[in-house]
Each structure stands twice: as structure tokens, then as C-alpha cells.
Structure 1
Amino acid sequence: MSDGVNTQLMARVALGRTLRRLRTKGHQLTIASVAEKIGCDVSLLSRIERGMRSCSYDHFVQLMDLYQVEQEQREKLAELHTSSRDRNLPWWAHYDDVITASYTKFIAFEDAAERSLDYQLGIVPGLLQTERYARAVTAVGFASLSEDQVDGLVEVRMARQRQRLLEAERPLTCHYVITQAALEFQVGGREGQAEQLEHLLEMSHHDSVELQVVPYERGEDGCQISAFTIFQFPGDLPDMAFGESVAGTMTLDDPRDLRRLHRLFRSLANSALSIDQSRDLIARIKDGND
């Protein structure tokens, strides 16, 4: 598929947003009037535009005709439509028994993204975790799960690292801002913490990783909100963000929310230490615990 958009979910989202743009900006039609013209339910068309449902071939052709889409754009959208109905399963489909629907969505967007902006308050970001650290936080966070399910979730996290950073042909460009608390917490015991800090130092030199730390003395600037991740994509696809709360993972795609999150991330990055200063702090904490 063109423009680096390589998952069925992303294709559905891209096609749905294009269809919505053609309807509202190109022809200023209501969703009810379009649904009536092509003979489908309003709820079905709404789900198609939001990327929650694939579009049938017949409805796709009807929409192209209704919106008077020119041949060149129609061919591009036809490619997108085909990709949105691709039956090839992604690698994470093998873990359907342990990953939730929201986690599946997160992985799919991570897989298609070109760049991520990630803020974590008290935990090391998933793509930078050692296996021991990942197992420790997963076993606590999902205490109701069996040992086999915890093993599966850890496997997923390690696979994400390989797919998007360590073995990727197009590594995800990652800008991380974390707090000093994430470095100080002992996860997996003293040995586990030391191993994780050493791994962070190593990963901070990865060509695709930019890592900054908000130190304790700047706590008022970096500790007022919960964790979030912003994904950015190739081409003209809009950003997608995920926020974390006690109620679970929230998907944020409203342009106003995204603008606020981008401003917030810039503020956090400005409050954090530089990359070199962050490495020095990580090294000092590690050496102090040896």
C-alpha cells in the first residue's frame, strides 16, 4: 500500500476520513442524505467514516460516483479500499487471547506510525523496557491473569520492540519524555533496575530514539498529567493519540485534543533535561545503586 500505510486498520481509518472530507467539505452533504442516496443505514455509514467498519465494494463505487471523484483520485482510493479489506493477519493477531481491543488498536497504529511522541510519568516506555522489567510491571498490572497470559503479554511487548525499533527496516522515530521517578522506582529488584537503566543508556544512543528526563527539581513542570502517546503518520494522515487513565486507554483524534497534547508535549520537552544531561542523570542513578 502507498505512503507507508501498512495495516488494515490504518487503511480503514484513512479511507473513512477521506470519505468524510469528500462529503462535508467537497459537497456539504449530511450523513443522513448520503446514507439515503446509497441505500444504507446512517449508523453503518458513520462507522465507515470513523474507520470502525470496512466499506463494501458496491457502497464504495456509489460513493465515488456521488462525490464525483476524478479518475486519478478514484484509483488511489480504490487501492486504499482494497487494503482496508485485506484478509492477511498482522503479527499481533496471534495474541488475540491476551490483548484487549484497545491494546490491539494501539499496536496497529504504532505499527503504521512514522513517529511517536511519548510521555511517561512513573514507568519506562514499553519499547525501551527489558524483558525482566516488562514481566514485573505486567504481572502487577494484570494480577488477575494467569502466568501463561502474562508470558503472552511480555512476548507481545518484546515483539513490538523488534518490529518497530530493533529489527525494523523503517524504525519508528521516538521522542520520549519521562520523569526521574521512572528511573528511581525499583522494578524487578535492584538487579532489575540496574539492568533497565543500563538498557536505557544503550537505547538512548539508538538512531531513532530521543530520550529526555524531567528531574525532580522541575517536578511542577512535568508531573501534573497522566501518560500519553501521539502517533504521526506518513502522507497527509492526521495524528492519533492515546491517553492512559484508571479507566483504561483512551483514543484521542479530535483536532482540538491533539493540538493541546502537542503543546503539552513541547512544554514537557522544554522542561526536561537535554539528551546528554538526561544520559548523565541515568548514569548517576545507576552508579548510585550499584
Structure 2
Amino acid sequence: MTNGNSTLLMSRVTFGRTLRRLRTKVNHFTLAEVAATLACDVSLISRIENGKRVCSQPHFAMLMDLYAVPAGQRDELAELHATTRDWRQPWWFPYSEVISAQYERFLGFEAAASTVCEYQVGILPGLLQTEAYAQAVTGVGFNSLGPDQIEALVEVRGLRQRHRLLDTESPLECHYVITQAALDFQVGGERTHQGQLAHLLEISTHESVDLRVIPYTKGEQAAQIAAFRILQFSDEDVPDVAFGESVAGSLTMDDPRDLRRLHRLFRSLADAAYSPDESRDIIAHTKDKGK
């Protein structure tokens, strides 16, 4: 049920999704009916099904009996249940003091994902940023934090790049669409800007990176759409999840209707953008004119 990229979060999400299917599709129970049988709150069952709460061993045994799960499937679920209780620390654990709960949840999904489709309006995707560029945007985005905390968040971004793109045998398949404005914005000064564009030219040739630029002439396609990313997983039991960005922070979206709309939107944005080769030409031109 799980693959080599599974993390604790993804094990819980997969386990919870399986329990929800057993409850709704197989047995047609409501949350209230299950909660009454287990003598617990409805919120507990809901959080277990959403991967936000660990299912205790007694509750697991009661659910297996309630759902009349056959012996073979019960053994598989028992194995999956055991992985949800694995307390091995993820690579980002040393940074827990500066990582928000929402960001930690995103990191868990990204660590297990096989593909990302991301659209950015004014800044470059995190996995493509240089350290200096990341330092500049983090310093502005988190100006209430101290220098040490900002530095820690920059380190996290660098580790994300290493774990998911640069130093791994199974790199994340990255599909990026950005606006031409994101290339022109001078972030961190001229030297940082030039270094970032040079890095972008290099990393855009990575076999797992598909980078496309929407030109100014197609502004109506991109100007009114906020940044978002969709994460997809090789495990068919794990649904896609999306993260939208706004002034209020990051919004997690997992409703199938929202995901279908975002997939259509991303395809439309990619169609409006230049090809990867044409996009590299724009990056090179932007870099040359800044010299």
C-alpha cells in the first residue's frame, strides 16, 4: 500500500483514507455511528480518517471488527497501522522550532510526492532558488523572525532541494509555470538576481524539471491567478493534495472538485507559456540585459 517515499504523514493519510472507504463505501456507517460504537468523539474518528491523529491499538481492533474486515486485508492494514506509529524523526525535525504546523504538513506531503505542478506569479519556486535569493525572500516574508530563525528557514529550503531534487535517486518530477515578471523582479540586489538567473538556466536542464514562462504578451492568462502547487503520489491509494497561497497564509485543498479545477487551470497556464527551450531563451535574455 505504501512506497519507498512514504513518510509518517503519508502512512497516516493512506491508513485514514482506507478506513474512510471501509466506513462509507463498504459498510455505509456515519461518523456518529462509528463514534458511538467506539465510545469516543466524532472528531477523533474524523481526525484519524484525515491522517491528523494516530489510531490507538484498541480502536484499531474495534474498527476491524465493526467493519468486518477479512483476515488477509486485516493483516495488511495491521502492517500499515504499525507504520503510522513509527516515530522516526524526519529530516526537518531539528528545525521544529521555526517550522509552522502547516509547513511541516506540507514538507511531509512533499517528501512522499512523486510529482509537483506549481504556478508562481512574482517569485520563483522554492526548489529552484539559490541560497541568496531564498535569504532575501524569507527575510521579507518572515520579517517578524530573528536572523537565526530566518537562517534556519533558508537551510530548510536548501535541504528540501537536496532531498527532493539534487541529491536523490528518485527526484521529484517538477512541472513549473512562472510569469516573465518573476524573472524581471530583482530580488536581493543585482548580484543575487544575476546569480539566480544563472542558476535557473542550469537547473532548468535537470531531467526532472520542466520550467515554462508565461510572457508579458499573455498577461491576461496569468495576472489574476494566485500561486498554487499540486502534489501527486505514485501510490494510487493516496489522493492529490494542493496548496494555495494568499495573504492569510497557505491553504490546503484536497476536495476532488477543487483538485480537478486546479489541474485544468494548470494545463491552461502551461498552454499559455513558452516551451522549456523558449523559456530558457527568455531567462538568458533577461540575464544578459541585466549585465
Q: TM-score range by the shorter chain?
A: over 0.9
Aligned counterpart, 1:18 = 18
Partner SS state of residue 224, structure 2? coil
Letter in 2 for 1:82: A
* In structure 1, distance between residues paired with 2:190 and 2:96: 33
Say whether the 8 Å CA contact 1:135–1:150 is kept in structure 2: yes
Letter in 1 for 2:261: R
Aligned counterpart, 2:53 = 53
Aligned counterpart, 1:185 = 185
Say whether the 8 Å CA contact 1:242–1:252 is kept in structure 2: yes
* In structure 2, distance between residues paired with 1:169 and 1:284: 33
Root-mean-square deviation (CA), in Å? 1.1
Instruction: Give CA deviations for 1:62-99 in whole Å, capped at 9, x if unaligned.
Output: 11121122233222222221111111110111101111
Say whether the 8 Å CA contact 1:215–1:273 is kept in structure 2: yes
Aligned residues: 290
Give structure 2 stretches of 5+ with no counterpart.
Answer: none
* In structure 2, distance between residues paired with 1:99 and 1:214: 32
* In structure 2, distance between residues paired with 1:76 and 1:123: 44
Aligned counterpart, 2:274 = 273
* In structure 1, distance between residues paired with 2:235 and 2:110: 16
Instruction: Give CA deviations for 1:106-143 in whole Å, capped at 9, x if unaligned.
Output: 11100010100000000010000000000000011111
Say whether the 8 Å CA contact 2:180–2:216 is kept in structure 1: yes
* In structure 2, distance between residues paired with 1:64 and 1:214: 51
> 1:52-201 residue pairs with structure 2 within 5 A?
52-201=52-201
Aligned counterpart, 2:255 = 254
Offset of 1:169 from its aligned partner?
A: 2.1
Partner SS state of residue 3, structure 2? helix
* In structure 2, distance between residues paired with 1:200 and 1:75: 48
Task: Give 4+ residue runs of structure 1 displaced > 3 Å after superposition.
Answer: none
Letter in 2 for 1:252: M
Offset of 1:5 from its aligned partner?
A: 4.7
Offset of 1:31 from its aligned partner?
A: 0.9
Instruction: Give CA deviations for 1:224-266 in whole Å, capped at 9, x if unaligned.
Output: 1110010001221100000000000000001111010000000
Give structure 1 stretches of 5+ with no counterpart.
Answer: none
> 1:26-45 residue pairs with structure 2 within 5 A?
26-45=26-45
Q: Percent identity?
A: 61
Aligned counterpart, 1:288 = 289
Say whether the 8 Å CA contact 1:4–1:234 is kept in structure 2: no
* In structure 2, distance between residues paired with 1:168 and 1:52: 28
1:244 aligns with 2:242: no
Letter in 2 for 1:192: T
Structure 1 length normalisation: TM-score? 0.98
Of 187-196 and 75-84, the range deviating more from structure 2: 75-84
* In structure 2, distance between residues paired with 1:3 and 1:71: 23
Aligned counterpart, 1:217 = 217
Say whether the 8 Å CA contact 1:227–1:243 is kept in structure 2: yes
Letter in 2 for 1:279: R
Partner SS state of residue 171, structure 1? coil
Say whether the 8 Å CA contact 1:5–1:234 is kept in structure 2: no
Letter in 1 for 2:137: V
